[in-house]
Every structure is written in C-alpha cells, then in structure tokens.
Structure 1
Amino acid sequence: MTDLLSDADLYNTYTKELSAHMRAAVKAYLDFEQAEKEVSVFFSGVSARLPRRDTALTEAYRHWLKGILRGWSFQYNGASGKMLSVDDIDGFTTIHPEREGRDPTYDMRCGHVLMDEYLESCLKEFDFEGLINKIEQEAKGLESAGLEESANRIISALSLGSQFDNGYGAAPTKQGKIVFCRHSIYMSFDSYSSDLWRKWAELAGDFESAEREAGGHGWAEGCRQISTALRDRKMMDGPFESRTLLAGDCALSAQVFKDHLKIRFSPEDMASLMAFLRLHGTYYFWDSKVVA
C-alpha cells in the first residue's frame, strides 16, 4: 500500500485537479446549453432538463471529491471496509462559499455574473488546506468507526443487545454442536418483505469485517445466501416451511420459523464473533454490560 502524498503536494495536486475538473464541467455545461438552444430552433419541445447552474457546479464538485475520498478510504479503512462519503466532510460538501445573508449564487443565477466567472471566484476562495485537514481527520478514525458500526449492527441483528441499557437481547443458546441467535422477521401478506433480504445483503459486509478481524470464514457468504433465498421466494409460494434451513453449507446458516430466524454458528465461531463484538461494539448486551 503506497502512502498518500504530503500535505504540500496534496495542496498543489488538488488545486490543479479541482480547477481543471470544474472548468471542464462548466465548459461542457455551457456547450450543452448552447447546443440545446440551437436544436430548439428546428425541433419544438426539445429539452435536456439541465440542472440549475448552481446545482450543476455542486454536482461536478461532489463527483470530484467522491473520487478523492475513495483513495483515502482504501488507505485508512483497514478491516472495516468503510468508505468516506462527501457528506462526512463537514464544511466542504459544496464548492459554493459560505455567506451570511444573501445566497452567494444569486448573481450567477440572475445572470449578473457569468458562470465561468463565478467559478473562478469560488476556486479563488476555496480552502484547500482546510479540506485536506478535514479529510485527514475523518480518515484516521475510519477503521475504528467502521468496525464499531459493523459490530453494533450485528449485535442488533442477532438480538444480542441494543443501543440502550434496557436489558434487551438474549444470550446465544447452545443446542448440541450448534449455537444460535434469534433474528425477528415480519410477514406482509404471507410473504417476506423486501427489507428483510436487503438487510441480510447489507449484513454480509458487516460480517466480512468481522471475518477479517476475528479469523472467521463463511459468515458473509451465509448472509448472501440467506438474502438470495429470501429475495427469490415469490409471494405466490408463501413463506418457507417451518425449520427450513438456509445457507446450510455455510459457517453462518439460518433456520426459518414463523416469526424469526435461528441464526446458527459453531461454538468456536460464536466465541470468535463474540470477542469481535465485545471489542469493537458500543451497544449493551443482554447482560447490560457495556461493550468494551
């Protein structure tokens, strides 16, 4: 893994990149706008529905920043897989300067200032040093934040505890060589809601993080197979028969009941998973002990 450039190099690189990106975006916007006017002479009712100029500048800027944040995310997210989003970079979600009182885009939107002239004023005022500092701040806490989020979602999904110290949750139950946790499900007109299979698809990412940290294997794949089985179950087929086993060949499997899934692990895998959850989670367990 290569290190990111120094702050000084980043300042110069980002200044050049953003300036070139935004100028190209403005040129494309104005060219398209002019082409639309020329086409409308020959064809009535033709409209490309271009966004407003201030909105277009914001979208172009966010597209550039999203690409920058991908590099930072891969550098810092470690086992968590968490990605920085533009909205994480508070104070730098738009290229428009902050102003007290009147909207800074007013003169451009009213035609008093040309779009390219307005852009140059934005670039001149843009705080590249502040942007770099803010990204560094968010990136350095990315892995721990991502692992915490994954652990908390797993704790909640397996009904092991909750965000609140209210005694909610239940300890894993051992039956022979299987340890299981409960995941509540809700039916709608005798079919599984789309939220259910989507949730298990999303949990696959959380269990991938847990696998990397805890040394597990097959947990994420089990989530994906459970999600696929629930998604593909058609409304006309009705719910699965009670005790149907999903993802039976995986280290994480599920047995279907009327109002819940029994999520099954081996005792060894459950112990590894619990160690991960107690280390990285911040939710309360069933025993009301704060997760370390």
Structure 2
Amino acid sequence: METKKSAGLEPYLFWILLGGLLFLRFPWLVLGGILAPGNNVVIVVYELGTCLLTFLLVFLERERLAEYHMDRLALVLLVCAPVAILIGSKTGGYALPGQAVKAVLAVVLLAALFIRRPVLPRRGAGWTAGCIGAAVLAGAVLAVVTGFVLSFQTSEAIDLSALPSVGKLLYGSLYQLDYAAAAEEPLFRGFLWGRLRKCGWKDHWIWLFQALLFAIGHAYYVGSRNISAFLAVPLGALALGLIAWKTRSVGASMIAHGITNGFGYTLSRVFYTVMG
C-alpha cells in the first residue's frame, strides 16, 4: 500500500523538483544576469539550489536513472567534482562561495545511494573508458571551435610565451564541470530529455528543443556577448545534446562541457592574438 502510494506521488514530486530547477535557471539566473550581472548572491543561490534539487531528483529517480541518461560515470562526476573543487580551493585553487555546502550535499547523496542502491545501466569498464575518451576528444574539438568563434568577440590579447599551465587549464575544466556542467547537463540533457521522451516526444525533437531552451537560458549574453548568445551557446547545446543522446550518458556530456568551457576562453584569446 505504501509502495503504491509512493509510486503515485513520484510524478508530482518529479515535476516539483524539475520546476524548481527551471525556475532557478530562468526567472532567477536569467533575470539576475540581466538585472544584476556578476552578482555573487544570484550565482551562489543558483548553484546551491540547483545542486540540491539535482541530487534530490537523482535519489527520487534512482530506480529509473537510465531513462535520464544517468549512469555510473555521471553519478561519480556529480559526487566527486564538488569534493575535488573544495579540496582544490584549500590548496590554492578557486571556487565559488558555498563550495563546502555542495561538497556536503554530495557526500549525503553518496551515503543515501549506498543505503538505497540505484538501478544503473550495465556498462563495463571498457565501455566507460571508451565513453570518457570520446567525451574528451569531443570536448577538445568543441573547445577549439568555440575558441575560434569567440575570438571574434574578445579584444583581449594574450602573451603566447606565458600561456596558462596545463595544470591550471585542467583545474579550470574541473571547475567548469562542477560549476556549469553539473548544473546544466542533468537538467537539459538528462531529466528534461527523459521526461519529454516519456511524454511521447521523439529524440530528434527533444534534441532541438533542449538546444533552444539552453540558448534562452543564456539570454543574459544578449547585448554584451552576442556571438556567445546567438552562435557559441546554440552550437554547444547541439553538440552536447548529441553527445548525451548517442552515448546515453550525461557523464560524457559533462566531461565535454567542462573541457569546452575550461579551455575555450584561453583559446579564444590565443586565436585573437594570432589572427590580430
């Protein structure tokens, strides 16, 4: 009886949590980015709220995670990235305020999933390694393409003899994986995608719709960074959506997203300097 009651409540809880994620993304972050650009309170509330609601959705849907492109790789990244960035921030790295809260939430999710084991797609180590390799390659290609496109938007040259170290760029990618990818991939390429498929949508329409929604979710770029708003972001959304769709793994799109963001800005300055 209790199990049937819980099953009946699940769709309502799902839409409440997903609605919370969409609220944080659109009215909160988009309007905050337009009305108060760079405001740390807006960004931190978005990050912490999104982290909490994403983790609650993971736990709620723990028996159906494969329907949302969630596999073991995605869970490992979601849990480990906040902790890794917290450690990094204590050893000279950078992090947003509230990183300790995200790390605590990650540990709580891990403990909860140990108690109530999730049902995950059966994928061997070979498949996971290949998926990671493909994600890294896709992220590198997307970083180069994005960097070239954004070079027409930047006016910041860079000293080619003093480029950031590989270590700094890799930390930047890890930071972006925890900051941008962990907030956006489970929402746009995971839970939203899976639920729309349950509602009868075809994958190719979901792929296009999530890209449109993702672009709208970056509306605060309009006016100040139009190439980002109208070219780089939609292109990235299509590419990341394709990665998640074909691998059925948000983990793969998270890796590609982190690399793209982590390397893209530096590459844009390199391209601007070389072509200038």
Same fold (TM over 0.5): no
The structure whose residues are more often helix, as a share, is 2
Larger Rg: 1 or 2? 1
**Structure-2-length-normalised TM-score:** 0.27
The structure whose residues are more often strand, as a share, is 1
Work out which structure has the larger RCO, using CA pairs closer than 8 Å and 6 or more positions apart in sequence: 2
